[in-house]
Each structure stands twice: as structure tokens, then as C-alpha cells.
């Protein structure tokens, strides 16, 4: 079918990530390798302030990362509140493949990384993040702001030509969050969900609002009942709006793909976009939004 294989990911940085994912998919044929390697590009991108160790810190000035990975057969792994690990997505994959667990948190996740031979990075803010943090400290206000650089998690979902799907999601979370705060991205069913029988979904935006409605799982379950990816994303946004007060200050966006390679996206407010890659044909698409 014309729609497969296909790689999709959130935001502008999805373009470069998709390029890498496509290259890996072509050379290995492995969709899990593709979604892992793809988002590693974003984790290493020094200009990105919301993914990877160069991201904006929490209130205490510490960068803590969240990531998850899931395969269409139901296997999944994640890490949250982890420090000093450059590629949390690879650590999440290790949890999936080499432990009896799904999720490792904080110091336990870091210890597992050490045990697995991951390099442990120096705990130092990137110059951009350090500057932003100094500015933030002047007022020390915690207010999530719509569609600026603190909403740029990468979520990637893909399907190979045989219909095998996988997804990945990685973030430094909300800037200036409370120390210990975990968002939707590492929570299976919130920031990411994949089922080969139906489809895949990923989320970006205010994690708290997404966790409350089990956003990605909701979308996959709606698709299971016959909704298109677009309809399912719109319904999830509707649900999110009904369950969250102060929606004028909340941004969230969803991206979904079904097993036929049809896709859709929808957000609360304008500004959300996603990258699509199919056989070298790459585009950046603006999502529609409720408001």
C-alpha cells in the first residue's frame, strides 16, 4: 500500500529526526531501531531547549529527562526523572529489552545506565539553558506558556512496509517544573501508545493535561472502534478540554497513525506542527486546532 512505510514526528525538529529514522529503516528494516535512532538526533541537538541534557532545567536548575519507547507487539520501556544520561531513549529501550520491568525512575534509572555502560555526563547547563534559567530566577514564576520553546517534546511514530509499528517519545519536560515532576512522555498510554492491530499515537504539550485523559491510549482505543486518526485526535482534544480548567493557558497536541498508514493530528491551540517522511518525501504539516 502506498501509505507504508511512513514516519511521523512532532514539531519542526521532527524533520531531521525523521530523516535519520528513514535512513535507519531503509538500511536495517527495523522500525524500532528507526524510532530510537531518529529521536536521538533531537536528544543531541544543542539548539533544542526541551529535549536532551541541553534542555531547560527544573526550578532547582537541574535537568531531568523522561523518555519512552513502544513496539506494536505491546513491549515497552521507559525512564523518567533521570539525570546525566544523554540518550534516555536508548536507556528506555534497554529497560524494554533487558529488564523484566517497564519503567525505571530517577537514581535507579541512572544506576542502570551506569551498569549498562552508558556514559554519565557532567551535570552542567548548556549556555543557552543557563542564561534562560538565570533570567527565570529573577521572578521564579512557574507558568506553563503556550507554544514556546518549553513545548517541544519529540514524539515519533512509524510503520514499516509489513505493518509493524513502533514509537518513541523523549523530553526534558516542562521548564522550571518542580524537582521530581514527571510528565506524560514516559508514561505508556499518556505520551505514547502503539498497537500493531490498530495504530499508534503520541502527544506533546502540558503533560498533566495529557496524563489525565490517558491521551495516547484513548486515541488508539478510538481508532480500534473505527475512528480515523484525525477523528480520534480531535476527540482526545475535546476530552482534554473538558477535563482541564484554564484551557486558554494549556497547549496539547496529538499525532496518530493507523495500521493502514493513515494519519491525523490535532491540538488545543494553533501552532502545533508535525513532520512526515515517506521515501525521501519530507514535509512539515500544520496541525488544525480547536481554538
* Per-position x/- string for 208-247, each x denoting binding to ligand SD4 as judged by CB under 6 A, each - no binding: ----------------------------------------
207, 215, 261, 264: which one contacts ligand SD4 (CB under 6 A)? 207
The DSSP bridge partners found for residue 76 are: 70
Q: Does 173 help bind ligand SD4 (rule: CB under 6 A)?
A: yes
Which of 30-38, 80-88, 198-206, 262-270 is the region at the interface with ligand SD4 (rule: CB under 6 A)? 198-206
| Contact by Cβ (8 Å): 57, 129 | yes
Distances in Å between the alpha carbon of 121 and those of 40, 93, 124, 125, 252? 16, 19, 8, 11, 31
User: Is 153 one of the annotated active-site residues of the chain?
Assistant: yes
Nearest in space to 14 (alpha carbons), one of 242, 170, 209: 170
| Contact by Cβ (8 Å): 223, 258 | yes
86, 93, 110, 151: which one contacts ligand SD4 (CB under 6 A)? 151
Which CB, 81 or 112, lies closer to ligand SD4?
81
Q: Does 205 help bind ligand SD4 (rule: CB under 6 A)?
A: yes
| Angle at 179 (CA atoms; ends 144, 271), nearest 5 degrees | 25
Number of amino acids touching ligand SD4 (CB under 6 A): 14
Region of residue 61 (left: phi > 0; alpha: psi -120 to 50; beta: else): left
* Per-position x/- string for 9-48, each x denoting binding to ligand SD4 as judged by CB under 6 A, each - no binding: ----------------------------------------
User: How many DSSP H helices and E strands does the chain contain?
Assistant: 8, 13
Which CB, 202 or 258, lies closer to ligand SD4?
202
Q: Of the listed 10, 42, 153, 171, which one is catalytic? A: 153
Distances in Å between the alpha carbon of 114 and those of 37, 86, 118, 164, 172? 20, 12, 6, 31, 20
Which CB, 14 or 205, lies closer to ligand SD4?
205
Neighbour count for residue 184 (Cβ, 10 Å): 32
42, 78, 126, 204: which one contacts ligand SD4 (CB under 6 A)? 204
Least distance from ligand SD4 to the Cβ atom of residue 256, Å:
16
> Which residue ranges make up the site for ligand SD4 (CB under 6 A)?
50, 151-153, 171, 173-174, 183-185, 204-207
Active site residues: 153
Amino acid at each position: 500500500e502506498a501509505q507504508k512505510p511512513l514516519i511521523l514526528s512532532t514539531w519542526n525538529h521532527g524533520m531531521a529526526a525523521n530523516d535519520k529514522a528513514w535512513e535507519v529503516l531503509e538500511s536495517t528494516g527495523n522500525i524500532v531501531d528507526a524510532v530510537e535512532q531518529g529521536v536521538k538526533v533531537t536528544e543531541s541537538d544543542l539548539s533544542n531547549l526541551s529535549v536532551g541534557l541541553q534542555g531547560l532545567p527544573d526550578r532547582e536548575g537541574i535537568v531531568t529527562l523522561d523518555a519512552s519507547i513502544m513496539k506494536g507487539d505491546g513491549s515497552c520501556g521507559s525512564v523518567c526523572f533521570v539525570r546525566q544520561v544523554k540518550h534516555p531513549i536508548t536507556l528506555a529501550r534497554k529497560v524494554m529489552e533487558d529488564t523484566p520491568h517497564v519503567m525505571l525512575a530517577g537514581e535507579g534509572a541512572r544506576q542502570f545506565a551506569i551498569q549498562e555502560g552508558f556514559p554519565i555526563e557532567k551535570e552542567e547547563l548548556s549556555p543557552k539553558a543557563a542564561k534562560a534559567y538565570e533570567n527565570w530566577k529573577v521572578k521564579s514564576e512557574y507558568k506553563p506558556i503556550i507554544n514556546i520553546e518549553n513545548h517541544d517534546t519529540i514524539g515519533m511514530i512509524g510503520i514499516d512496509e509489513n505493518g509493524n509499528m513502533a514509537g518513541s517519545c523523549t523530553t526534558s519536560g516542562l521548564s522550571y517544573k518542580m524537582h521530581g515532576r514527571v510528565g506524560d512522555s514516559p508514561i505508556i498510554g499518556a505520551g505514547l501508545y502503539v498497537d500493531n492491530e490498530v495504530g499508534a499515537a503520541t502527544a506533546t504539550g502540558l503533560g498533566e493535561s495529557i496524563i489525565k485523559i490517558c491521551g495516547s491510549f484513548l486515541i488508539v482505543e478510538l481508532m480500534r472502534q473505527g475512528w480515523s486518526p484525525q477523528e480520534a485526535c480531535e476527540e482526545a482534544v475535546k476530552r482534554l478540554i473538558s477535563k482541564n480548567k484554564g484551557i486558554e493557558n494549556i497547549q496539547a497536541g496529538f499525532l496518530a497513525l493507523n495500521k493502514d498508514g493513515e494519519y491525523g493530528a490535532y491540538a488545543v491551540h494553533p501552532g502545533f506542527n508535525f513532520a512526515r517522511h515517506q521515501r525521501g518525501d519530507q514535509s512539515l504539516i500544520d496541525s488544525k486546532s480547536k481554538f
